[in-house]
Amino acid sequence: MAVIHFTSNLRRHVDCPSVTVAGATVRDVLDEAFAANDRLRTYVLDDQGHVRRHMRILVDGVAIKDLEKQSDAVRPSSEVWVMQALSGG
């Protein structure tokens, strides 16, 4: 099963420890992680179910391409990282 990690920057705002979940797509594993944490869902996804502009999701070190449906593939051995996109000047 895939492991989803949430960066410490995100954990400052929402209680979200790393979890091991099953699923074939990013959306599948996110839904599993969100099942017990609806506040986390609203922080990561907007009201349309799309990844929020200030969030980034990586699967095995590669940023996902489908921010709307999160259809990118996840393998059972994958590591998924959910983080806030940081910017500065």
**pLDDT (tens digit, 0 to 9) for every residue of the chain, 89 residues total?**
999 999 988 888 888 999 999 999 999 999 999 998 888 999 999 999 999 999 999 999 999 999 999 999 999 999 999 998 776 65
d(CA 2, CA 26): 10
Q: Is there a contact between 82 and 4 (Cβ–Cβ < 8 Å)?
A: yes
Domain ranges across the chain: 2-84
Query: 10 Å Cβ neighbour count for 73?
Result: 13
Q: What pLDDT shows up at residue 89?
A: 57
Q: What pLDDT shows up at residue 82?
A: 96
d(CA 83, CA 9): 7
d(CA 86, CA 84): 6
d(CA 44, CA 52): 6
pTM of the model: 0.91
Q: What pLDDT shows up at residue 85?
A: 78
Level-2 CATH architecture, domain 2-84: Roll (3.10)
Q: How would you list the strands of the sheet with 2-6, edge to edge?
A: 19-21, 2-6, 79-84, 55-59, 62-63
Q: What pLDDT shows up at residue 37?
A: 87
